[in-house]
Amino acid sequence: MRRLRIRLMLALLLVTALAGAGCGSDDNDSSSSKGGGDLVVSAAASLKTALTSYGEGFTQAKAQFSFAASDELAAQIRKGAKPDVFASANTKLPNELFAEKLVERPTVFASNRLVLAVPANSDKVRSLEDVAGDNVSVAIGAPAVPIGSYTRTVLAKLDAGTRKGILANVKTEEPDVAGISAKLQQGAADAGFLYFTDVEATNGKLKTIELPASLQPQVAYGVAIVKGTPKREAAQAFVDGLLKGAGAEALREAGFKPPPQ
Amino acid sequence: MRARWFAGALFGALALALTFLTLPVVAILVEESPGALVGSLDDPGVLDALWLSLRATLTAVVIIVVVGTPAAYLLATRRFRGRELVITLVELPLVMPPAVAGVALLAALGREGLIGGAIEDAGLRLVFETAGVVVALTFVAAPFYVRGAQVAFASVDRSWLEASRTLGCGEARTFLRIAIPAAAPGLLAGLALAWGRALGEFGATLIFAGSFRGRTQTAPLAIYERLGTDFTAALALSAVLVSVSAALLLSIKLLSGRWAFDAVH
């Protein structure tokens, strides 16, 4: 009798501990695809609007998204997370993961463009030159995030005076586009560099100042199926739909352009 | 027999808890070789982040102690209408997700916030400035101290305070000379928790103050920035942060243990 009770007690302890461990790993590893029929898609934060609406109508599997900065998602995959699909705000990261044999051959599925974004109710900044002016607060992406690296590409093409002026006004290097957008919407920053689609997603809170074509970097989005996914077919259908079909439509709706030719 | 199985169960539970709670800490320290960890600390950005964390948390802790100690004393020693409500309001940040704290601070003190315009007119900049980091840390960490201090003051023997007053000490002297020394171990424990919480603060700082090297990028923000590009550096900085927090907790534990010992003898 007493033995039994001890065993029960130990079993209970073990179950509690395991349940605890399970919860912990769920949090960090929401992109791992154990159990359930969900198709797990790790996608760049800037794809949120487009992919969420595509996912709602996707029938082959229930699409479950993990939106974050592309470099964070790639780091998770390198650390052993196994989503089924990885959609990045550049082609560099999927290509790197392909070279490391972590994902299948990537496909370019959309393009975007970089714009100068300013709060809709502010006239403080009307041109790229204004961004270098006195008392202007600028929000950009951290160097490791695609938006931050594209921004630095644009800045490198400017004349030295404007570039230095803008860099001196940079007050924050945000870890993802959501951070830049929030600082602009709240009026904390006067100007920031964002994707055109991010400005569209704010429903008029922000407005766009177009960059000259000569400054525009090629912003191409790459997608790849993660190697060893048990849901290969659904993953392929998801990627195909991004190129042609409901996914492509959702992307156009959100302001993305077809992949560069 | 009965006592033995119960003791065994207690021991088992502690062993499980200890394993579960320390395994990730151990992993931080052993995942890379010590050489690689030390090497990646050579990054000036890492040192800037640590230095900023130290300065900002110290400032926040000083503000918290100076304002929080008398406030907690009042809450612990006086009964007044709405006291429960006041205590709840003071403790609210404890249960607030850091992201909510950050958004709330922006909505209150941001440039277009409730009183943000007035603050800016007064010439004080918070968003994107180190002062903003201190504000975020103070907001998030203060309840840990105030709560601990309130409990500590409440458990001070009331007869000591009354004796002090009877012997002619004023309210202020009683507070400074009797209440604070008697409550010191509890005050220190609250301080350690608040400081630890401030050192680890991430969400509210990022949302309210932004992230800029040397000005608003504290150690947790620097860790997050390095995750995507340099996992080793992220680990190294994590290891330093964990060591500092552990040293802090431990030294305050030892100090307050000694204090309590001295008070008895």
Confidence of residue A174 (pLDDT cuts 50, 70, 90): very high
| pLDDT per position as a tens digit, A179-228 | 999 999 988 999 999 999 999 989 899 999 999 999 999 899 999 999 99
For position B35, what pLDDT does the model report? 84
The verdict on a CB contact (< 8 Å) between B20 and A21 is: yes
B218 touches chain A (CB under 8 A): no
Q: Which residue has the tokens 């030295």?
A: A160
The verdict on a CB contact (< 8 Å) between A5 and B12 is: no
Is the pLDDT assigned to residue A21 strictly greater than 50?
Answer: no
* Distance in Å from the first CA to the final CA of chain B: 39
For position A25, what pLDDT does the model report? 37
Residues with Cβ within 8 Å of B237's Cβ and at least 6 positions away in sequence, in order, are B41, B46, B49, B50, B219, B222, B223, B226
For chain B, positions 120-139, list CB contacts with chain A under 8 A: 127-128
Judged by DSSP in three states, A257 sits in strand
Is the pLDDT assigned to residue A35 strictly greater than 60?
Answer: no
Report whether B215 contacts B177 (CB < 8 A).
no
Q: Which residue has the tokens 């050489």?
A: B35
Which of A8, A181, A183 to probe the B interface (max B CBs under 10 A)?
Answer: A183
| pLDDT per position as a tens digit, B77-112 | 999 999 999 999 999 999 999 999 999 999 999 888
| pLDDT per position as a tens digit, B9-30 | 999 999 999 999 999 999 998 8
A179 touches chain B (CB under 8 A): yes
The verdict on a CB contact (< 8 Å) between A175 and B225 is: yes
Q: What are the Cα distances from residue B214, in Å, to A261, B53, B113, B240? A: 43, 10, 26, 18
Distance in Å, alpha carbon of B236 to nearest chain A alpha carbon: 16
A183 touches chain B (CB under 8 A): yes
B231 touches chain A (CB under 8 A): yes
Q: Which of B12, B211, B228 sits opposite A13 (nearest CB)?
A: B12
Better-scored residue on pLDDT, A28 or B119: B119
Is the pLDDT assigned to residue A32 strictly greater than 50?
Answer: no
A173 interaction partners in chain B (CB closer than 8 Å): 210-213, 217, 225
Is the pLDDT assigned to residue A26 strictly greater than 70?
Answer: no
Confidence of residue A6 (pLDDT cuts 50, 70, 90): low
A10 touches chain B (CB under 8 A): yes
A178 touches chain B (CB under 8 A): no
Is the pLDDT assigned to residue A144 strictly greater than 90?
Answer: no
For position A16, what pLDDT does the model report? 46
Is the pLDDT assigned to residue A7 strictly greater than 80?
Answer: no
In this predicted complex, what is the ipTM?
0.78
For position B165, what pLDDT does the model report? 83
Average pLDDT of chain A, as a whole number: 87
Distance in Å, alpha carbon of A71 to nearest chain B alpha carbon: 5
Which regions in chain B score pLDDT beneath 70?
Answer: 1-2, 259-265
Whole-structure pTM value: 0.80
Nearest CA in chain B to A148: B225
Residues with Cβ within 8 Å of B40's Cβ and at least 6 positions away in sequence, in order, are B46, B230, B232, B233, B235, B236
For position B37, what pLDDT does the model report? 81
Q: Is B84 exposed, middle or buried (0-12, 13-18, 19+ CB in 10 A)?
A: exposed
The verdict on a CB contact (< 8 Å) between B211 and A13 is: no
Q: Is B195 exposed, middle or buried (0-12, 13-18, 19+ CB in 10 A)?
A: buried
Eight-class DSSP state of A226:
B
Q: Which of A5, A13, A137 sits opposite B128 (nearest CB)?
A: A137
Of A93, A103, A47, which is closest to residue A248 (Cα–Cα)? A47
Is the pLDDT assigned to residue A33 strictly greater than 60?
Answer: no
